[in-house]
Structure 1
Amino acid sequence: MRGMRSAAKQPEPTKRNDATNLKQTLAMLWPYLWQFKYRVLLALLALIAAKAATLLMPLALKYIIDALDGNRHQLLMVPVVLLLLYGGLRFAGVFLGEVRDALFGRVTEHAMRQLGLRVFQHLHSLELAFHLDRQTGGISRDIERGTNGLSFLMRFLMFNIVPTLFEIVAVTVIFATLFSPLYSLITLIAVSVYIFFTVVITEWRNKYTREANQADNTTNSRAIDSLLNYETVKYFNNEQYEAQTYDSFLAKWEQARLKNRLSLLALNSGQAFIIAGAITLLMWLASTEVVNKQLTLGDLVMVNAYMIQLFLPLNFLGFVYREIRRALTDLENMLGLFKRKPLISDTADAQLLQLTQGEISFNQVSFNYQQQRPILQQLSFTIPAGSKVAIVGASGAGKSTIARLLYRFYNLNSGNITIDGQDISQVTLDSLRRSIAIVPQDTVLFNSSIRDNIRYGRPDASEADIDHAISLAYLTDFITSLPQGDATLVGERGLKVSGGEKQRIAIARAILKRSPILIFDEATSALDSSSEQAILKAMREVARNHTSLVIAHRLSTITDADNIIVLKHGQLAEQGSHDSLLAAGGEYARMWQLQQKQQN
């Protein structure tokens, strides 16, 4: 939208109540590391070897300089062996580092894959209520940030934090051994002050970083909102108003970025001052000892090289500290999803559903989504095997809830639902749901081809079975009219096909599933008369020899039902055939007359 992309896009993460703590996080991650324990061990050995080569380079440089200084009048006596050693050490440091990356990269990537898959499977095991309460985009971001956080933690702990700590210890030991404990003491104090300063200032900077992130997100949101409502802006001649509003958000963003930049200046300047002070002090000591012939010129260069080498990775400490905090929070948020146990699951002694005929019974079923608002109250009815039963009623009467309960997306408050006399709460969810196929009110298609969306009903179906389902759903003419036929992409959520075409694709998908029980959940509620007749024809063809439940809004679509159940306030108001209900002059007759008037 604008060229100001330097603002950090990621908001500062917040740790949710259900997130894991550090101990739980490490306990969950340990099996993924232990699975590749030998590879991790080899990576650690490569890490140590690479760091050892790096640490020996200043020492080799010292001997090169001392050799050249001692033979400065004998130009042909260049210490070739030392120069070759120095070059070899530099190559070894880089090569062994690459070996370490290659070895440990496999561990990280496999852990990300396994953890991502485990979270994905867990999310699919959770009940519908969980997914309705939480935004899908938020869950997706939890998974993405969590797996990226795992990669960041494992990479930086292995490639940055651990090597730096090892190098600090090694340098202090080298200084104490080759020079004096004073050199080691100054180094440790400088590093400690540097780390303390960086952590404190980074914590202080976080509020400015959050302000900049929030301002950036708000500015982008406002710009996108304005452009999405382009027509509305034009209708009301508000281009100038939108520009002024957008500019006010940009002004806040500019101010927040200025504060963030100034705080970064304070951090970088403070770090540079500590580094410069430490190196100056050590160089002063070394220079004094060189003048006094206690150290050589090579020793002076070596001290300088070690200090630069030591503080170079520490330059990124503020970034690493902040990102590790972020990664830990993201990872803990993702792992916290495992704390949510499925409310709908198989009982310990669940049996496979033995479906012989397909008779469905609701026995004194009561259910509510919220305690203060009952949906179904003591509802009882039976759908005989092989029959077509319709359920009608006003909006909110509980029609679609019946389909959800039959799929066992929710547990009942009381009563039970049986299929061929078997309580559905006592059979496995997989066998129950394999026995039912549904054409939902709002058909959602995957962003793939028409054929792939139909195949989703039974992924292992043969091509002949798919063609048969297409024929039964009266899709053949539509598909042959398309340039790419059934390979045509339907677009995200099926937006490239019409409502009637989506419904017929849904019917073909339900046919392909080959389930003995069929549910049509207001499958024609949003269609025109021509599309509706095509869908009804397909539905009648599919429903033959099946137990079918039709949830309907338009009463004209279910006049041929064997039985019509009328719901009112979650209770059974009346039931019977179309003709008998009209003759009774009750709730159904009133609804019929009202719809007839609306059509006329």
Structure 2
Amino acid sequence: MDSLAAVDGSKPPSANGAIRSLLDSIQTYSPLLLFAVFVVLFILQAVTVAKKTPNVPAERSGPGGRPLPKRMRSQAVVTPTVEDFSPYTKLTFRWLSVGVLFTFVADAAISMCHTIFYRNENWWCGQSTVIYIVLSFFNYSVILISLMDTSPSPTWAQLGPWLLALPLEVTRLGGYLALYTNPHHEPVVGNPTGGPFRKSITPWESMEVVAALVRIVLLVALILLYALSSIEWNKDVRKRPRFESREDPTETTRLLNSHLNGDANGVEYGTANGTANGSPNGSPNGSPKHETARPAEAAWVRPNTIPSTSWWEYLSGYSLFFPYLWPSKSRKLQLTVLACFGLVLMQRVVNVLVPYEIGAITDALSEGEPGKLVVPWKGICLYVLLRWLQGSQGVIGSLRSFLWIPVGQYSYMELSTAAFEHVHSLSLDFHLGKKTGEVLSALSKGSSINTFLEQVTFQVVPMLIDLCVAVGYFLIVFDVYYALVVAIITFIYLYVTVRMASWRADIRRQMANASRQEEAVKTDSMVSYETVKYFNAEKYEFRRYRGAVGDFQRVEYKVLFSLTLMNTCQNTIFVLGVLMTCFIAAYQVATGARKVGDFVTLLTYMAQLQGPLNFFGTFYKSIQSALINSERMLELFREQPTVIDSPFATELPECKGAIDFENVQFAYDPRRPALNGLTFRCEPGTTTALVGESGGGKSTVFRLLFRFYNASRGNILVDGRRTDSITIDSLRSHMGVVPQDTVLFNETLMYNLKYANPSATDEDVYEACRAASIHDKILAFPDGYQTMVGERGLRLSGGEKQRVAIARTIIKDPRIILLDEATAALDTETEEHIQGALSTLSKGRTMLVIAHRLSTITTADQILVLHAGKVAERGTHEQLLALKGRYASMWRKQIRAQKAAAEAQVLQNRAQRLRSASTAAVADDSSSQSEEERSGSTSSRPTRPPMHHRSTKVSSS
């Protein structure tokens, strides 16, 4: 830009040459230095103030053997001391920053007015001054934006640039005073020695000095205000506690002590020292009396708004997924990733060569001699070759996509299986509180994070490289003004995109939640098909689903409208940048400073640059959508099992079946204990029955013994070993459970029966089914053992499902058997067969039976009557009847109920026989009357029914 930059680097042959050179250096490089310092400090500040969480112990591992994530909910959070000023102080900072911006506006106005009024003398402020004004205004605008957009603010991220700018501004002001107060030449275009000679400072120069002085005063005010406000804030902060927690102080103390004892994140190893976790939300059971009992929170809270964290905390949370996305297990795939990186760099080189080649072809065609045919065949062929290689559809992009296929498959495999494994590893408290539709939706939509690595690697990184290359290319090949325009327009474009996308984030999150709710309604309704039919609620379900779809579409409309608005704003900003660069290029071409080919190259490059910028808007939307959709999966990963193996747990190779409960205490909710000092012993090979009213703790005994929960106090022993010292898998391998409500897979009967022991033979299955009195019934089915049982086994009756469950337990062949009302759904005859099978099965095995039908446990070795979480009575059937206590009362009630039921059955059978006889009599009477009519007999008098018929009707009444 020779016509505009004649004096930017010129040094008049005078004593002022050194001063002008110093001023040019300060004005050219100080804005770049300030911007770099601000960016570095801003990132460091965001990282250092991020909330810290206790580290996860190394011995614990999650899905795929990787470390478990840090649980962000229900845990103490150590928050570093972060300054935040009062609203009035923050408003003062902002207005002072606005004042600094106005000083640069004043500098720009002074330079423009000076140029206009001194146009005849071609006065020119110099290229370094233009760079200084434009870049400095840009820098302080970014700082002002950070003051308004971030909280707390200001921080040392803003203080650092202010401290650095103050000496630079003082040096610049001193240089101007030293230059202007001495005799000097004014700068002009095209004259290296300068323009008119001035003996003293001019009015225009005086205004420049005043603007610089005001800027220095404002910077000093910003620094002093920060220092004074920090002093006042430190006086207040000394009165505050050092640690802050999301929970109450007692919970914070407990969790910190738990962490110091090696129990990080409040997750229990199941130790018997009173720290075990038994509540659905992970809160402690049996907490000290001085702690306030709190109601249990929801098992899995859905995030409705953006998390109240910094951008670093938010993004760092997704680092949990990186071990699954990076192919750490395959060296070959890692080399493939590096090769893809190399192809991406090759694409960047091609993107620079294509506009250059177009400009060269244009110059060759425009500079040809008249009457002489000149066709740049070589340049055209090279251009076509470059276009063949360029773009995502070009050869390089296609090769990169081909190489990335196995990497993408690896990421999907690792993350999907890890999520599936993690859900199965969660404890019973989570599964009791979850919604199946919600979990399935989170797993399906959360898989969008699989493409995150590919998007970042091959779209974000290339975009940033393209933008940096564009700035450098325009700076070297064209002029600094082009680089300034591209850099500033790019920043404004990206900032507007980020701000509008952040504004759209809550709307997109609402849409994601509405979509998940729609999926949840649909899934839950399909799963509960029978319930819908039982209550004739099809129309209600249709309205509910239509309402969910309507909610989704209402939010979707807002999302689509905001997307259109964002695209319009993005295009407007970029068009303004193209307009400015075209004005500069057209001026240079008109003055002969540039060739026509340069103008074509510029337009081509700008059009090519619009691709990455437009993609950033699309990418930011897609990656934001992926992050929002994967928030639920992230929360799912952060849900940790409340019952896990202790680091010191060992296997239980064999089991004799001795069971001891020693003063066991447990509560699902701290406000209502379930077990309160339960103590009993089951000898190996004996049968123990648990009876009592509902809520007495019978099912809780099974859940604690099976390690679904850990006891709050006391010990649970199996063969003399505490259950928390035995690995969960080995303990459960010696136990068989027949639940009251049996759930089967939607597979064949053979599949469900062999589920207990996949290595069992068909003959083993047949023997188990004979013992469970279900073999003949299965053979009566058209498909036999290959019969599909339907969703959750709904195609089988309740008794059939329970007998399948019993057969499945027989196939497992455990040493400890837990029967939860195993014969409740069976008829009397089948129950007798099952009782015989269970008595055979119980030989040499320990059995715990929950029974409401007392007639099924009269032969038990001991019967425990539970009341209020304790053993109220114990003994055999005869002993308990002799006590005439709770058990005897329950027995008398059941005997009376059975007697009444038997009498009612007799009456019902008698009434049924009478109705059958009445129906037969009516049929005989109708038949006799029809015969008379056919024989031609007529009577004017109506036929009276026989006396016995009327008597029968009365008796039936």
TM-score of the two chains, using structure 2 as the length reference: 0.55
Query: How big is the shift at 1:481?
Result: 2.8
Question: Aligned AA for 1:569?
Answer: A
Measured after TM superposition, the shift of residue 91 of structure 1 is: 2.6
Once the two structures are TM-superposed, the CA of residue 49 in structure 1 deviates from its matched residue by: 0.9
Match of 1:106 among 389, 396, 406: 406
Q: How does 1:292-441 map to 2 (within 5 A)?
A: 292-328=591-627, 334-335=633-634, 342-353=641-652, 355=654, 357-441=656-740
Root-mean-square deviation over aligned CA pairs: 3.8
Q: Write the mapping of 1:33-182 to structure 2, written as runs, cut at 5 A.
A: 33=326, 35=328, 37-70=334-367, 78-93=375-390, 94-149=394-449, 151-182=450-481
Deviations 1:192-233 (A, max 9, x none): 221122222223334554566667777898899999898799
Letter in 1 for 2:363: D
CA 1:438–1:221: 2 relative to 1, 3 Å = closer
Deviation by residue 1:461-513 (Cα, 9 ceiling, x = unmatched): 33443343333333322332333332333233222322222212222221221
Corresponding position of 1:7 = none
Q: CA deviation at 1:571?
A: 1.8
Q: Which residue of 1 aligns with 2:109?
A: none
- Alignment deviations for residues 513-538 of structure 1 (CA, whole Å, 9 cap, x no partner): 12111111112334454654554454
1:264 aligns with 2:264: no
C-alpha distance in 1 between matches for 2:517 and 2:317: 35
Distance 1:466 1:113 in 2: 35
Match of 1:587 in 2: 886
Evaluate the alpha carbon distance shift between residue 233 and residue 413 of structure 1 in structure 2; reply closer, same or farther with a 3 A threshold.
closer
Q: Decide whether the 8 Å contact of 1:226 with 1:242 is kept in 2.
A: no
CA distances 1:256-288 after superposition (whole Å, capped 9, x unpaired): 555545433432222221222222332333344
Change (3 A) 1:597 1:296: farther
- State how 1:172-251 maps to structure 2 within 5 Å: 172-209=471-508
Q: Provide, for residues 71-90 of structure 1, a one-character-per-residue CA deviation record: whole Å limited to 9, x for no partner.
A: 59789754333333223222
Contact kept? 2:512, 2:628, Cα under 8 Å: no
1:501 aligns to what? Answer: 800
* C-alpha distance in structure 2 between counterparts of 1:499 and 1:16, whole Å: 49
Code of the residue aligned with 1:284 in structure 2: it is: F
Distance 1:536 1:359 in 2: 23
Pick closer, same or farther for the CA change 1:16–1:401 going to 2, 3 Å. Answer: farther
Task: Please state whether the residue corresponding to 1:369 is helix, strand or coil.
Answer: coil
Aligned to 1:477: 776
What runs of 5+ residues in structure 1 fail to find an aligned partner?
A: 1-9
Name the SS of the counterpart of 1:373 in structure 2. coil
Inter-partner Cα distance in structure 1 for 2:702 and 2:480: 78
Structure 2 counterpart of 1:466, one-letter code: V
Identity over the aligned pairs, expressed in percent?
A: 35
Q: Cα deviation per residue 1:366-389 (whole Å; 9 max; x = unaligned)?
A: 322222222223322222222222
Cα gap change, 1:131 to 1:211, in 2 (>3 Å): closer
Separation of aligned partners in 2, 1:253 and 1:376: 45
Distance 1:152 1:483, change over 3 A: same
Residue from 847, 851, 860 that aligns with 1:548: 847
CA contact (8 A) 1:383 1:547 kept: yes
Q: Which amino acid aligns with 1:561?
A: A
Partner AA of 1:447 in structure 2: N
Distance 1:139 1:225 in 2: 11
Q: Is the 8 A contact 1:434 1:515 kept in 2?
A: yes
Q: Secondary structure at the match of 2:667?
A: strand
Secondary structure in 1 aligned to 2:326? helix
CA distance in 1, matches of 2:521, 2:444: 25
3-state SS, counterpart of residue 694 of structure 2:
coil
Q: Is the 8 A contact 2:327 2:411 kept in 1?
A: no
| 1-structure distance, mates of 2:765, 2:549 | 54
Structure 1 pair 467–206 and aligned structure 2 pair: CA distance change class (3 A) = same
1:500-539 matched pairs, under 5 angstroms: 500-529=799-828, 532-533=831-832, 535-539=834-838
1:280-300, CA deviations, whole angstroms, 9 ceiling, x for partnerless residues?
Answer: 332333344444454444333
Q: CA deviation at 1:434?
A: 0.9
Letter of the 2:396 partner, please give it: L
Q: Provide the C-alpha distance between the structure 1 equivalents of 2:383 and 2:625, rounded to a whole number of angstroms.
A: 39
Relative CO higher for 1 or 2, CA cutoff 8 Å, sep ≥ 6? 1
Give, in whole Å, the separation in 1 of the partners of 2:807 and 2:371: 91
* Residue type of the alignment partner of 2:603: N
Q: Which amino acid aligns with 2:821?
A: E
Is the partner of 1:448 in helix, strand or coil? coil
Q: Does 1:448 align with 2:747?
A: yes
Mapped contact 1:16–1:333 kept (Cα < 8 A): no
How far residue 439 of structure 1 moved from its aligned partner, in angstroms, is 0.8
- Counterparts of 2:684 and 2:524, CA distance in 1: 52
Which of these two proteins has the greater Rg computed from alpha carbons?
2
Deviations 1:433-484 (A, max 9, x none): 1111111112122232222222221233334433433333333223323333
Cα distance in structure 2, aligned partners of 1:568 and 1:218 = 41
SS at structure 1 position matched to 2:502: helix
Q: Is the 8 A contact 1:517 1:548 kept in 2?
A: yes
In structure 1, give the amino acid aligned to 2:734: S
Instruction: Name the CA shift for 1:256/1:345 in 2 (closer, same or farther; >3 Å).
Output: closer
Q: Contact 2:735 / 2:817 at 8 angstroms: preserved in 1?
A: yes
Distance 2:480 2:556 in 1: 45
User: AA paired with 2:857?
Assistant: I
Structure having the larger proportion of residues in strand: 1
Contact 2:304 2:509 in 1 (8 A): yes
Change (3 A) 1:74 1:102: farther
| C-alpha spacing 1:450/1:402, structure 2 compared with 1 (3 Å) | same
TM-score by length of 1: 0.85
CA contact (8 A) 1:353 1:422 kept: no
Letter in 2 for 1:358: G
Whether 2:315 is the aligned partner of 1:22: answer yes
Task: Report the number of matched residues.
Answer: 586
What is the deviation of 1:392?
A: 1.2
Measure how far apart 1:140 and its partner are. Answer: 4.4
- Residues 295-351 of structure 1 show CA distances to partners (whole Å, capped at 9, x for unaligned) of 444333322221122112322433422443444455566456565554433334333
- 2:756 is aligned to 457
Residues 351 and 212 of structure 1, relative CA distance in 2, 3 Å threshold = closer
Q: CA deviation at 1:560?
A: 3.0
Residue 96 (structure 1) shift: 1.8
User: Do the aligned partners of 2:772 and 2:803 also contact (CA within 8 Å) in 1?
Assistant: yes
In 2, Cα distance between the equivalents of 1:262 and 1:32?
33
Helix, strand or coil at the partner of 2:673: strand
Name the SS for the 1:445 alignment partner.
Answer: coil
2:786 counterpart of 1:487: yes
Taking a change above 3 Å as real, the CA distance of residues 160 and 95 of structure 1, as seen in their structure-2 partners, is same
- The letter of the residue matching 1:282 is T
Pair 580,119 (structure 1): closer, same or farther in 2 beyond 3 Å: same
Q: Which residue of 2 aligns with 1:559?
A: 858
**Counterpart-to-counterpart distance in 1, 2:629 and 2:659:** 46
C-alpha distance in 2 between matches for 1:553 and 1:13: 48
User: SS at 2:864's partner residue?
Assistant: strand
**8 Å contact 2:365–2:376 — kept in the other structure?**
yes
